[in-house]
Structure formats: structure tokens, C-alpha cells
């Protein structure tokens, strides 16, 4: 099962049916998504491939005493109900000839949303269940909810930002109007908001492990880069020293340069700091670096 399915299974088991207001607002969240459409005979059709999702939607409808029919179309679960049976939708709106899409009634549905925090949480939970998805955080952080239109999407976006300080981005395509989150912290906040308690624990566990692996990899890469830099420098220094020896120019070096050159040949893989400590009169890293650079310059004088 996917990570997204695990989250929806978690949410489908929430026992919020005692509070009719929460039930109503979660249903409103479903109706704002792209999976709810109006078809012939003024019926609302909701379709999903998630068994947990369709069961949750059916329970919401039953709790509000709304008659509905469940069908299976291939891999898709479908629930159909008469729009006029939804108590908070005006029958006059449904009977308009122009009402051929749920876009024609979405503003009326939005007007039914009260401003309480619990009601807003329920709407957001319904929207996520209605058409939301979340990637396995092992791969990348990506949570997305697809809506019927810009108005519905913007309404939920503003609700998340103003009431809960959760910030999302927008996707505007002819066949896809959505809001999405790619920040792990913001996704975690949204999962906590809608009540995905088991899901957030798993998400945070993966997130912490992923970030720790990232830190370890960065440290290893940094150390490897520094080691490679040290080794490359040492190879250049040793080549310069051997060149001076081969060309009988080594003996003309002053005693300080000779001493550091011999130590480098004897200790090809140690750092400049360690080389400096091995001198008769120890010096720091910059002093060692200066002497070795001088040796390289002298070796390259004939170029």
C-alpha cells in the first residue's frame, strides 16, 4: 500500500461522527474537490480508487441521512446522490438550467462553512480525503490537493494560511487546479491539523532519518573533498621535491626548505599542521604551506 493510502486509512478511522457540524464540514471539503461532479438528473457523482476513502464518504452521507448509491466502475468506487438531498444546498439552485456542474453550487456550499477552528479543520480533512495525495517521504516531500476550480482552491489556500499558518503553492493547468506543499515541516503541520496521528509519526520518523542521512552524507563528502585536496597537494609537493633531487638542485635549498621537504617525503599523507609539529622548531600551517609553495616555485623555475 502507498504512503498516501496509509494516511487515508488512518483518517478514515477517525471517530468524529458524534458532532454533526464536523460531519457536515468534512462533506463540504469533499464537494470542493475535482472528484465531485454534477451529472445527469442533477446527481452528484463522487469517484475514487481508495476503498478507505469511499467508506468514509459513505459514512458521512449516512450520518446526515442522505440517500446514496455505491457502484464499482473498473478500479473506481463511485457514489451517486441527488443534489437536492443535501440539506444545505438550496433546491432552487439545483433546479437552475445552468446548474450542470458542481461549480454552479460551490459558492453556496462555501457560504455554509462557519469560522470555527474545528469546522475549518474538518473542511480541510474532507478536501484532502476527497482528492489529496502525499508522496512517500523517503523519495521526496510532496502533498497535493486537486480542486474543481480556482475559487475552491483559493478558499482552502487562504484558510490554511490565515487560520493555521500553513503555506502552500499553486498549480494552474487547464486540466489540473491544485495546491501543493514540498516543505517537510509544512506537510507535517497539515497532517497534524487533519488528525492523521499515525501518519504523522511515520512521516516524522522517515523525515528525521532522511535528514540525518543527508547530514552524514554532507559531512562525508566534505571530509572526502578535503582529503582529496590534501592528497593532491601532497602529490604536487612530492613531485617538486623529487624533481629538485633528480636535477641535483635539492642541495642548494636552505636548511628550512630541506627539512620540510624531507619530512614530506617521509610523511606523504599527513596534513600541513602535522608536518609543522614534526619540525625541530615547530611552526603553524601557514608557515609550512609557505615553505612547500616555495619548493614548488623553485622546481618550476625552468618551465
Q: How much is the pLDDT for 263?
A: 87
8 and 125 share one domain: yes
Residue 104 confidence (pLDDT)? 56
Locus of grid cell 466502475:
73
CATH number of the domain residue 128 falls in: 3.10.28.10
For residues 54 and 136, state if they share a domain: yes
Model pLDDT for residues 35-66, shown as the tens digit of each residue = 888 777 678 888 888 888 888 999 999 999 99
Could you tell me if 56 and 186 lie in one domain? yes
Residues 67 and 141 in one domain: yes
**Percent of the chain whose pLDDT exceeds 90:** 26
Task: Please indicate, yes or no, if residue 174 is contained in any of the structural domains.
Answer: yes
C-alpha to C-alpha distances, 237 to 85, 256, 279, 285, nearest whole angstrom:
86, 15, 17, 15
Q: Mean per-residue pLDDT for 238-243?
A: 86
Do 36 and 101 meet the contact criterion of CB atoms below 8 Å apart? no
In a domain, 201, yes or no: no
Is the pLDDT reported for residue 218 higher than 80?
no
Whether residue 229 sits in one domain with residue 186: no
Give me the domain span that covers residue 219: 213-299
Does residue 119 lie in a domain region? yes
Domain count, the chain: 2
Residue 175 inside a domain? The answer is yes
pTM of the full predicted structure?
A: 0.69
Q: For the residues 112-117, what does the mean pLDDT come to?
A: 84
Q: What is the pLDDT of residues 142-152, one digit of tens each?
A: 999 999 888 88
Q: Which of 258, 181, 90 is nearest to 191 (CA)?
A: 181
pLDDT of 102: 55
Q: Which of 19, 119, 92, 23 is nearest to 62 (CA)?
A: 23
Q: Assess if residue 208 is contained within a domain.
A: no
Q: Identify whether residues 13 and 157 lie together within a single domain.
A: yes
State which of 160, 195, 230 marks the end of a domain: 195
Q: Using an 8 Å Cβ cutoff, are 126 and 109 in contact?
A: no
pLDDT of residue 98: 45
User: Could you tell me if 143 and 188 are in contact, meaning their C-beta atoms sit under 8 angstroms apart?
Assistant: no
Does 96 have pLDDT greater than 80?
Answer: no
Residue 201: closest CA among 183, 188, 220, 217: 188
Residues in the chain: 303
**Are residue 178 and residue 39 in the same domain, yes or no?**
yes
Is 30 in the same domain as 154?
yes
Say which range, 54-63, 96-105, 110-119, 199-208, has the weakest mean pLDDT.
96-105
37 lies in some domain: yes
Q: Of 195, 227, 243, which residue constitutes the final position of a domain?
A: 195
Q: Are residues 179 and 249 in the same domain?
A: no
Instruction: Tell whether 221 and 183 lie within a shared domain.
Output: no
Residues 86, 7 share a domain: yes
In this predicted structure, what is the pLDDT of residue 91?
55
Looking at per-residue pLDDT, the higher value among 296 and 160 belongs to: 160
- Same domain? For 114 and 176 the reply is yes
Instruction: Note whether 173 and 127 are within 8 A (CB).
Output: no
Amino acid at each position: 500500500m502507498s504512503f498516501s493510502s496509509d494516511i487515508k486509512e488512518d483518517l478514515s478511522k477517525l471517530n468524529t461522527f458524534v458532532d454533526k457540524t464536523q460531519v457536515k464540514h468534512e462533506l463540504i471539503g469533499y464537494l470542493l474537490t475535482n472528484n465531485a461532479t454534477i451529472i445527469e438528473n442533477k446527481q452528484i457523482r463522487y469517484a475514487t480508487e481508495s476503498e478507505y476513502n469511499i467508506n468514509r464518504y459513505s459514512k458521512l452521507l449516512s450520518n446526515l441521512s442522505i440517500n446514496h448509491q455505491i457502484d464499482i466502475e473498473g478500479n473506481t468506487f463511485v457514489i451517486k446522490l441527488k443534489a437536492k438531498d443535501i440539506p444545505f444546498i438550496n433546491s432552487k439552485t439545483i433546479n437552475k438550467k445552468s446548474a450542470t456542474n458542481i461549480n454552479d453550487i460551490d459558492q453556496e456550499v462555501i457560504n455554509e462553512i462557519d469560522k470555527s477552528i474545528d469546522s475549518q479543520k474538518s473542511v480541510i480533512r474532507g478536501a484532502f480525503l476527497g482528492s489529496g495525495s502525499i508522496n512517500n517521504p523517503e523519495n521526496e516531500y510532496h502533498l497535493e490537493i486537486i480542486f474543481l476550480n480556482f475559487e475552491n482552491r483559493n478558499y482552502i489556500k487562504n484558510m490554511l494560511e490565515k487560520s493555521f499558518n500553513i503555506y502552500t503553492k499553486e498549480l494552474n493547468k487547464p486540466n489540473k487546479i491544485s495546491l501543493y506543499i514540498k516543505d517537510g515541516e509544512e506537510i507535517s503541520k497539515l497532517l497534524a491539523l487533519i488528525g492523521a496521528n499515525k501518519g504523522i509519526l511515520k512521516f516524522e520518523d522517515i523525515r528525521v532519518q532522511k535528514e540525518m542521512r543527508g547530514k552524514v552524507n554532507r559531512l562525508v563528502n566534505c571530509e572526502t573533498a578535503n582529503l582529496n585536496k590534501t592528497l593532491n597537494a601532497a602529490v604536487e609537493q612530492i613531485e617538486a621535491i623529487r624533481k629538485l633531487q633528480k636535477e641535483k638542485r635539492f642541495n642548494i635549498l636552505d636548511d628550512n626548505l630541506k627539512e620540510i621537504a624531507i619530512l614530506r617525503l617521509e610523511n606523504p599523507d599527513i596534513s600541513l599542521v602535522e608536518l609543522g609539529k614534526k619540525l625541530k622548531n615547530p611552526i603553524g600551517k601557514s608557515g609550512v604551506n609557505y615553505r612547500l609553495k616555495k619548493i614548488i616555485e623553485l622546481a618550476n623555475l625552468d618551465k
